[in-house]
A and B are shown apart, each in its own frame.
Chain A
């Protein structure tokens, strides 16, 4: 049995309970609101071609790059009219899921991009 020292706090509806955590609870990923200006890979795969470079103005729906995964060539498209800010992947690079591929910004608005 756990001793008093190992106990941690868990707050449920304002009350602080003394208890222990499970590994799953300790390892849970905290929620982050998605940033529309950052395009992440939705599947692990290989970047087989890149069609744009930084400062390019790109229309909504245009293909930015090809990500091959599970023998399918997936087109990664521009979600809105905008400009390419930075490209984080190289041709032939194999990337995991949720990997930052491209940073973009919408046209006609000044969005500060962290670099």
Chain B
């Protein structure tokens, strides 16, 4: 027998397995508006860069008639490839093979590529499209999930981990995405929940559709489980590629540098912010007036929009931005915005991305719901994350910096490297109205015309404290700067912080207020 016939035999075997669940199942997948696992990998990675492993792996189940069943690749595709010519590890669950259900060998393939990603220090991308545990394999499928979660945790903060939900991801399976850094979801395709609508209806009598319970929009807006929301798989892949362009491959590399570009000429930075600090503006305009080519890649755009997080570049290098958004809820801190920003700070710190904080907030959101939702422990996360972060940290106070909000938003006291303030900054323990009512309570109450005196006292307090100079006099603010110098000041701050070296006390790990 010549080698030629062996090769032909190999090709035939590969063709067979690469068809996944077969034409019928593929047609069904297409009818659901979904690409197949293989199509997804091709769409996401650089052209012809995908190299597959474990194609010939077979399941090991012996019960419930499984011994006679053939499941191609055991319902998952693993391999390596490149995005922007940089290596990534990837797995994609194949819904056309037994609903992408996870059994022992399926999980082993996933953990193999995870181990590889961690060993080689390259990003891991997981495409989830699975009905869940393969019930016929019993505890072996649970073991599989456990092995995946353990590796997600080990790899956390070492390599970027990206989860793409492109189909169902239910029950225990949801915890792998939840342990990873970024979760991508697509309208009408992604579904993520612990217990599905069926169980909820039979046990609790509550009727809800899959999309309403755990669709992309719900997770992007309400739960905060998703970081990116797209209306098509193609848009989702574009988002992933863009993210990859901003982040380092691992915790000892830098993100790929881009050619430096000045911000685009648009509105003048000093014209964006209204003089009256009670009137809102879109903080994204400030960010875009600072970043290279005025580009800003926002993360968790729809969740807790009262704070903005995302990446931009300055002189070609990736910078993480955290900024209060006066346009939504006046930019207050609350449980959700605390969670959102604290995790992002830790991401930037883990991957050596400098953090720029733009501040304009009146404090914390008042309300019974907030207090009872644990705004104390949630709010503490920001303090913890900023204090612990040792990457270069620069703060620019645009307008309001009141009370606990002032401290929380990367103040000098939490070891900001540079704190700048615009001349419009108001750094005080609270806003003039609130402060005047307390400090001058007696004078106001005893006055003949209390309202008039109140207004006078508010004005008095404003003139005295609603400015950056009291804080600057203490050295808490390094410099009061002109708005148009903001980019230059930040750039210089980043430049001189390049070799920043801060050592934290030696410890196994801290105990953050999760």
Known contacts A12-B363, A15-B431; is A20 also within 8 Å of B222 by CB?
no
- Asked if A96 is an interface residue, CB under 8 A from chain B, the answer is yes
Q: B306 touching A22 by the CB < 8 A rule?
A: yes
User: Which one of A23-31, A50-58, A77-85, A105-113 is at the B interface?
Assistant: A23-31
Within 187-231 of B, Cβ neighbours of A (below 8 Å) are at 203-206, 221-222
Nearest residue (CB) in A for B221 is: A23
Output the residue of B282, B329, B336, B368 with the most chain A CB within 10 A: B329
Q: A96 touching B362 by the CB < 8 A rule?
A: no
Q: B431 touching A22 by the CB < 8 A rule?
A: no
Partner of A12, one of B221, B328, B336, B366: B366
- Residues from chain A with Cβ under 8 Å of B221 in the complex: 23-24
Shortest CB-to-CB span from A95 to chain B, Å, is: 8
Known contacts A13-B362, A29-B369; is A1 also within 8 Å of B327 by CB?
yes
Partner of B330, one of A10, A24, A31: A10
- Asked if B81 is an interface residue, CB under 8 A from chain A, the answer is no
Known contacts A12-B362, A44-B206; is A28 also within 8 Å of B278 by CB?
no
Report B319-345 CB contacts with A as 1/0, cut-off 8 Å. 000000011111110001000000000
- Residues from chain A with Cβ under 8 Å of B304 in the complex: 22
Report B344-373 CB contacts with A as 1/0, cut-off 8 Å. 000000000000000000110111110010
- Asked if B437 is an interface residue, CB under 8 A from chain A, the answer is yes
- Asked if A18 is an interface residue, CB under 8 A from chain B, the answer is yes
- Residues from chain A with Cβ under 8 Å of B203 in the complex: 44, 69-70
Known contacts A19-B280, A28-B367, A31-B368; is A12 also within 8 Å of B330 by CB?
yes
Nearest residue (CB) in B for A4 is: B279
Q: When chains A and B are docked, how far (Å) is the Cα of A70 from the Cα of B329?
A: 39
Shortest CB-to-CB span from B298 to chain A, Å, is: 15
- Residues from chain B with Cβ under 8 Å of A22 in the complex: 304-306, 328-329
Partner of B205, one of A12, A17, A30, A96: A96
Q: When chains A and B are docked, how far (Å) is the Cα of A10 from the Cα of B278?
A: 10
Within 1-51 of A, Cβ neighbours of B (below 8 Å) are at 1-2, 7, 10, 12-25, 28-31, 44
- Residues from chain A with Cβ under 8 Å of B327 in the complex: 1-2, 19-20
Nearest residue (CB) in A for B328 is: A20
Nearest residue (CB) in B for A96 is: B205
Known contacts A7-B280, A12-B431, A13-B363; is A28 also within 8 Å of B305 by CB?
no
Known contacts A16-B278, A31-B369, A44-B204; is A25 also within 8 Å of B433 by CB?
no
Q: B431 touching A14 by the CB < 8 A rule?
A: yes
Shortest CB-to-CB span from B69 to chain A, Å, is: 33
- Asked if A94 is an interface residue, CB under 8 A from chain B, the answer is yes
Nearest residue (CB) in B for A27 is: B222
Q: When chains A and B are docked, how far (Å) is the Cα of A43 from the Cα of B52?
A: 49
Nearest residue (CB) in B for A7 is: B280
- Residues from chain B with Cβ under 8 Å of A44 in the complex: 203-206
Q: When chains A and B are docked, how far (Å) is the Cα of A78 from the Cα of B445?
A: 49
Shortest CB-to-CB span from A40 to chain B, Å, is: 15
Partner of B282, one of A1, A14, A94: A1
- Residues from chain B with Cβ under 8 Å of A18 in the complex: 278-280
Partner of B204, one of A21, A28, A96: A96
- Asked if B510 is an interface residue, CB under 8 A from chain A, the answer is no
- Asked if B183 is an interface residue, CB under 8 A from chain A, the answer is no
Shortest CB-to-CB span from A12 to chain B, Å, is: 4
- Residues from chain B with Cβ under 8 Å of A1 in the complex: 282, 327
Q: When chains A and B are docked, how far (Å) is the Cα of A2 from the Cα of B325?
A: 13
Partner of A17, one of B336, B362, B432, B434: B362
Shortest CB-to-CB span from A7 to chain B, Å, is: 7
Nearest residue (CB) in A for B363 is: A12
- Residues from chain A with Cβ under 8 Å of B330 in the complex: 10, 12, 17, 19
- Residues from chain B with Cβ under 8 Å of A96 in the complex: 204-206
Nearest residue (CB) in A for B366 is: A12
- Residues from chain B with Cβ under 8 Å of A70 in the complex: 203
Beyond A15-B433, A96-B206, 14 extra complex contacts between A and B, CB < 8 Å? A2-B327, A12-B332, A14-B433, A15-B434, A16-B278, A18-B279, A18-B280, A19-B327, A25-B329, A30-B368, A44-B204, A44-B206, A69-B203, A94-B205
**8 A–B contacts from the bound complex (CB under 8 Å):** A7-B280, A15-B434, A20-B329, A22-B328, A24-B221, A44-B203, A44-B204, A69-B204
Interface residues of A (CB under 8 A from B): 1-2, 7, 10, 12-25, 28-31, 44, 69-70, 94-97
